[in-house]
Amino acid sequence: MQELEGRRALVVRGGWEGHCPVDATTDVFIPFLREHGYTVAVHDDLDVYADAAELARTDLILQCYTQGTATDEQVSTLCAAVTAGTGFAGWHGGIVDSFRASPEYLHMTGGQWAAHLAVAVVSQPELVQWRAASVAVETASERTRGVAVADLLTTDDPPAPNCQIAVGVDVDAFTELFLQRIRSLS
């Protein structure tokens, strides 16, 4: 595996204890990150998500935070960092059940149902902005077998892209198309 000297990882954990955000989860990954050249900072609260400068210096955010409440500022700053290329990883409820009351966060993680948009994009792909990526499914590790991993090709030596992923939506155009189709049903 390629060593990633000088990389910075941020571990954000907390929320509902049922997902064991410390001992059984993030503490397992912290030594792995350090062994592969990451400097790791651990946060047991969400305050760091409001620090745009800190997130901009971060290469990877590893999150296990279930059923929490994040401020609009924390979510906006986090989403902006991820959109700019900061890696964002997690699993199960520690990432997709983190901030149920935040549509912006749910859209970023894919936790908000968006099937209507997916159907519209089939006929009008220009409704979304596309970005090249490399997607693979983990098969080697017992712990992560079956997990899809998307690389947004931001490293110095990225893998070859093998797909296009949607990273933005023309909300006004989609809304107009959606409402136009609904009106045509009456």
What SS3 class is residue 102? coil
Q: pLDDT tens across 14-68, in order?
A: 988 887 778 778 888 999 999 999 999 999 999 999 999 999 999 999 999 999 9
The rounded distance, in Å, linking the Cα atoms of 104 and 83 is 12
Please give the residue that has the higher pLDDT: either 185 or 11.
11
Is residue 86 a contact partner of residue 60, using CB atoms and an 8 Å limit?
yes
Q: Please tell me the total count of domains within the chain.
A: 2
Flag whether pLDDT at 4 surpasses 60: no
- The residue range of the domain holding 48 is 1-112
Same domain? For 11 and 89 the reply is: yes
Q: 88, 112, 136 — which closes off a domain?
A: 112
Chain-centre distance of CA 44, in angstroms?
19
Residues 6+ apart with CB under 8 A from 66: 15, 16, 18, 19, 21, 93, 94, 97, 98
What's residue 2's pLDDT? 46
**What is the average pLDDT score of the chain?**
87
Is residue 87 a contact partner of residue 149, using CB atoms and an 8 Å limit?
no
What's residue 14's pLDDT? 92
If you search the block for the tokens 């209507």, which residue do you land on? 116
- Quickly state the pLDDT bin for 91 (edges 50, 70, 90): confident
